[in-house]
């Protein structure tokens, strides 16, 4: 071959290799012009799950609201971009998969990173989430719109669930899984974990979800309640076995005065309690408050005239890990002999079940 043609061919090949960045990552970023005063500051890459800024992977100086980050291939990891003096996780701080290839970051009131198939799919789903949340925020939330509101959220969560289940080997799916842990049913979580690979399982927070599901098996319907001791408002200690397994159907109710959904459930619970308290029904409320005065005030203001216990430790309450409670309100309906019948039962469903049990 002619040496000149060989040289030209070699240069073309090297140019092509450079353009696709086979040996590392490159992120070309643009920051919205509406965000002023960022020139001269730095953009950072921080792994999700990092314990401090000392774990920053890379940084680049911003010029004309633009930046370029590049480096050697570090393998796949979920990261965030964030701007100096702006907290990670807020606006202008997208999460993305740092991987080998050429990426494009757009930092705006909705921020995203594109350029590889996985980042493209992830950012498209995040855009749908953002658009839906913006739409919902404009809807006046009242009794007439609550149902429609919940239906839209359920549909959106369903799409995210499908993405996770279809991608059990991808870190973006693992990130969504940890984000949606409180919106997925236990059955859905089990289904996802059953097909997840080691990379998925290594994402921060996934192992704790698995551990939580193991705890729930100990307090699942059909199991006997687990006893514990806690103080009443006078400081006197009581075991919950004083009230459970003594011939009454008991609702073990985990709540707190600071929990809006808990407080919204009170009128319904009170109505049901007043109807069935003389027919063999009792409620044992376990508060996750961390201030006794708030706990007492809520009970008085709402006339919650059933049994109440608390160790005033908030989420550090000894009952939380014992019963796998990581969100409230949370209830367990327990039969007369101390057998757990159902978890997270409220409103009409609770009343219907009591009507069946306390004929």
pTM: 0.76
Same domain, yes or no: 282 and 197: no
Domain assignment of residue 54, yes or no: yes
Per-residue pLDDT of the chain (359 residues; tens, 9 = 90+): 444 433 434 444 334 444 444 579 999 999 999 999 999 999 999 999 888 888 999 999 999 999 999 999 989 999 999 999 887 666 799 999 999 999 999 999 899 999 999 999 999 999 988 888 777 777 776 656 666 777 777 888 889 999 999 999 999 999 999 999 888 888 999 999 999 999 999 999 999 999 999 999 999 999 999 999 999 999 999 999 999 999 999 999 999 999 999 999 999 999 999 999 999 999 999 999 999 999 999 999 999 999 999 999 999 999 999 999 989 999 999 999 999 999 999 999 999 999 999 98
Domain assignment of residue 160, yes or no: yes
Helix residue spans in the chain (DSSP H): 3-20, 117-137, 146-166, 171-179, 186-195, 198-201, 206-218, 260-276, 292-301, 319-322, 347-357
Q: In CATH, what number is assigned to the domain containing residue 18?
A: 2.60.40.10
Give me 312's structure tokens.
Answer: 């005033």
Same domain, yes or no: 207 and 250: no
Of 45, 27, 198, the C-alpha closest to 100 is 27
- Contacts from 197-200 at CB under 8 Å and sequence distance 24+? 197/168, 197/169, 199/76, 199/169, 199/170, 199/171, 199/174, 200/168, 200/169, 200/170, 200/171, 200/173, 200/174
**Number of domains within the chain:** 3
Domain assignment of residue 134, yes or no: no
Write out the residue range of the structural domain in which residue 143 sits.
139-218
Same domain, yes or no: 181 and 145: yes
């Amino acid at each position: 071959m002619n040496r000149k043609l060989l040289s030209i061919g070699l240069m073309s090949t090297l140019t092509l290799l450079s353009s696709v960045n086979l040996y590392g990552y490159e992120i070309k970023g643009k920051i919205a012009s509406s965000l002023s005063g960022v020139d001269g500051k730095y953009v950072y890459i921080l792994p999700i799950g990092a314990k401090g800024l000392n774990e920053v992977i890379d940084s680049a100086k911003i010029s004309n609201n633009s930046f370029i980050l590049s480096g050697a291939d570090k393998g796949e990891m979920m990261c965030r971009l964030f701007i100096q003096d702006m907290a990670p996780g807020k606006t202008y701080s997208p999460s993305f998969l740092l991987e080998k290839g050429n990426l494009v970051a757009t930092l705006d009131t909705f921020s995203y990173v594109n350029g590889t198939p996985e980042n493209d799919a992830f950012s498209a789903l995040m855009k749908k989430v953002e658009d839906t949340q913006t739409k919902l925020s404009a809807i006046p939330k009242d009794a007439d719109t609550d149902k429609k509101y919940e239906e839209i959220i359920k549909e959106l969560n369903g799409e995210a669930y499908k993405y996770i289940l279809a991608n059990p080997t991808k870190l973006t799916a693992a990130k969504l899984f940890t984000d949606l842990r409180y919106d997925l049913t236990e059955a859905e979580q089990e289904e996802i974990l059953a097909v997840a690979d080691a990379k998925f399982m290594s994402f921060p927070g996934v192992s704790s979800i698995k551990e939580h599901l193991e705890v729930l098996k100990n307090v699942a319907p059909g199991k006997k309640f687990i006893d514990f001791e806690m103080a009443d408002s006078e400081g006197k200690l009581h075991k919950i076995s004083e009230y459970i397994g003594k011939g009454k159907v008991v609702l073990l109710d985990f709540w707190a005065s600071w929990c809006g959904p808990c407080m919204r459930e009170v009128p319904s619970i009170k109505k049901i309690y007043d109807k069935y308290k003389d027919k063999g029904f009792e409620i044992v409320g376990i508060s996750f408050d961390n201030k006794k005065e708030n706990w007492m005030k809520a009970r008085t203001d709402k006339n919650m005239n059933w049994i109440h216990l608390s160790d005033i430790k908030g989420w550090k309450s000894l009952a939380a890990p014992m019963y796998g409670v990581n969100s409230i309100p949370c209830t367990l309906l327990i039969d007369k002999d101390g057998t757990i019948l159902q978890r997270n039962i409220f409103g009409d469903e609770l009343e219907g079940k009591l009507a069946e049990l306390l004929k």
